[in-house]
Chains A and B, each alone.
Chain A
Amino acid sequence: AQSVSQHNHHVILSEAASLELGCNYSYGGTVNLFWYVQYPGQHLQLLLKYFSGDPLVKGIKGFEAEFIKSKFSFNLRKPSVQWSDTAEYFCAVNGYSSASKIIFGSGTRLSIRP
Chain B
Amino acid sequence: EAGVTQSPTHLIKTRGQQATLRCSPISGHTSVYWYQQALGLGLQFLLWYDEGEERNRGNFPPRFSGRQFPNYSSELNVNALELEDSALYLCASSPGDLGGWQPQHFGDGTRLSIL
Contact = CB atoms under 8 A, between A and B. Distances in A.
Interface residues of A, number: 25
Interface string A34-58: 1010000011111001010000000
Interface residues of B, number: 27
Given A43-B107, A45-B106, A96-B100, A101 B48 contact: yes
B43 A104 contact: yes
Contacts, number: 57
Given A32-B100, A49-B103, A104-B43, 19 more contacts: A36-B106, A43-B90, A43-B106, A44-B92, A44-B106, A46-B103, A46-B104, A51-B101, A90-B42, A94-B100, A96-B100, A97-B100, A98-B98, A98-B99, A101-B45, A102-B100, A104-B42, A104-B44, A104-B45
